[in-house]
Amino acid sequence: MRDEGELPREAAAPDPAPSSSGLLTEIGQLGRAVKHLFGAQMHLLAAELGLARSAVSWMLAAGLAATVAGVGFGLTLLGLLGLLLATWFGSWIWALLVLAVLQVAFLFGSILLFRRCMHWMSLPATRSEWSAMMRDTVRKADLQTGGARDGTQGDGEDRS
């Protein structure tokens, strides 16, 4: 029997310095741990990309559904307006003719608004802002791709 105050030899003796094979073992374990960590990160990234791909598909489907619903709603409103006009005029022909005139007026108004917006774009202050914005965009694109190869920017001016 041993005394309780006495320690076993293995516990009392200090550990010898780790051998080079122990160091190699630890480096191997570290490599496996890093590989496991990055493997888990890659697995997580692949799962996130799969979710993003799925989300884009669902967003496109939702956009298509919203477009179909909007067109359906517009047609329903036109049908109801046609029915109201038919009861008011007492004739479907007059009701459809008034609807056609309303649609042509709406189309003409949309074209005029589009032309007005294009006119605003051609005003001198807007033109200079637009060209400055385009120059900045081209400059940023050139910087991201490593700059222009011939020493010029997209607007033909030499920046050297």
Q: What are the tokens at 70?
A: 């909007």
Give dist(CA 76, CA 74) in Å, integer: 5
Domain extents for the chain?
Answer: 20-90, 91-149
Q: What is the pLDDT of residue 157?
A: 52
Q: What is the pLDDT of residue 145?
A: 83
Q: What is the pLDDT of residue 72?
A: 95
Q: What are the tokens at 117?
A: 């917006």
Let me know: does 142 contact 154? Beta carbons within 8 Å: yes
Q: Which amino acid is at 139?
A: R
Instruction: Find the helix packing angle between 92-122 and 20-89, rounded to 10°.
Output: 130
- Radius of gyration for the chain, computed over Cα atoms and rounded to the nearest angstrom: 37
Q: Give the predicted TM-score (pTM) of the model.
A: 0.43
Per-residue pLDDT of the chain (160 residues; tens, 9 = 90+): 555 555 555 555 555 555 567 788 888 888 888 888 888 888 888 888 888 888 888 899 999 999 999 999 999 999 999 999 999 999 999 999 999 999 999 999 999 999 998 888 777 777 788 788 889 989 998 888 875 555 555 455 555 4
Residue 156 in 3-state DSSP? coil
